[in-house]
């Protein structure tokens, strides 16, 4: 896992270093592409629907964690899964930008990290969180520092979520530092 994270951060670092400080000039397309590259490995790709038993209640899931409209027996191609992930991430980014209006002005890494988190926890939880309150108060570092708190599913700490939140926080904080 460490080797994977090191490679991912090297790739993402190169991607963000070549970009402007914010994606306001480039739109959300670049954020969506980077977010898909970031989120995909964390979610894992499953071409056939499976019952996610960690969720409460269990929910049918497919591709990269998609649950909307998924039912037993559904199957998709890798391209369909990627398209679905990209569309979902665009929607989650847009929902998060509604409750944190200055999100699109932040460095791309911040947007990717928070979009990844929102995709995982849901826009309702994200928008009502302390993280959103801190971001809206202009405390972006404080917002990034809230990410590790979101490492539970069903009330239990999940190692994969702990690792994902650490990666999101690292990307968020590094992007703030580079964007300053």
* pLDDT, tens digit (0-9, with 9 covering 90-100), for 158-176: 999 999 999 999 999 999 9
pLDDT at 19: 44
CATH, residue 27: 1.10.530.40
Q: Which of 52, 66, 145, 151 is catalytic?
A: 52
Mean pLDDT, residues 6-10 taken together: 47
pLDDT given for residue 179 in this prediction: 72
Residue 34 placed within a domain: yes
Domain hosting residue 97, numbered range: 2-42+80-179
Asked whether residue 66 is assigned to any structural domain, the reply reads no
45 labelled catalytic: no
Q: Which of 43, 45, 145, 151 is catalytic?
A: 43
Indicate if 43 belongs to the active site.
yes
Contact present, 99 and 91 (Cβ < 8 Å): no
In this structure, the number of other CB atoms found within 10 A of the CB of residue 179 comes to: 17
Domain assignment of residue 64, yes or no: no
130 falls within a domain: yes
Q: Determine how many CB atoms are found less than 10 A away from the CB of residue 138.
A: 9
- The number of distinct structural domains making up the chain is 1
Give pLDDT tens digits for 88-109: 999 999 999 999 999 999 999 9
Q: Mind listing the pLDDT tens digit for each residue in 78-91?
A: 999 999 999 999 99
């Amino acid at each position: 896992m460490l080797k994977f994270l090191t490679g991912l951060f090297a790739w993402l670092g190169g991607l963000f270093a070549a970009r402007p400080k914010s994606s306001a000039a480039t739109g959300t397309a670049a954020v969506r592409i980077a977010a898909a590259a970031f989120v995909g490995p964390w979610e894992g790709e499953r071409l056939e629907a499976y019952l996610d038993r960690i969720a409460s209640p269990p929910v049918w899931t497919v591709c990269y964690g998609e649950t909307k409209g998924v039912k037993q027996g559904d199957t998709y191609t890798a391209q369909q899964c990627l398209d679905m992930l990209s569309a979902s991430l665009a929607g989650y980014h847009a929902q998060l930008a509604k409750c944190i209006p200055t999100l699109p002005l932040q460095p791309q890494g911040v947007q990717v990290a928070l979009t990844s988190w929102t995709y995982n926890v849901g826009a309702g939880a994200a928008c009502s969180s302390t993280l959103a309150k801190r971001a809206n108060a202009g405390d972006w570092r404080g917002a990034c520092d809230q990410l590790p708190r979101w490492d539970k599913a069903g009330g239990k700490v999940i190692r994969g979520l702990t690792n994902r939140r650490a990666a999101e926080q690292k990307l968020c904080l590094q992007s703030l530092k580079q964007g300053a």
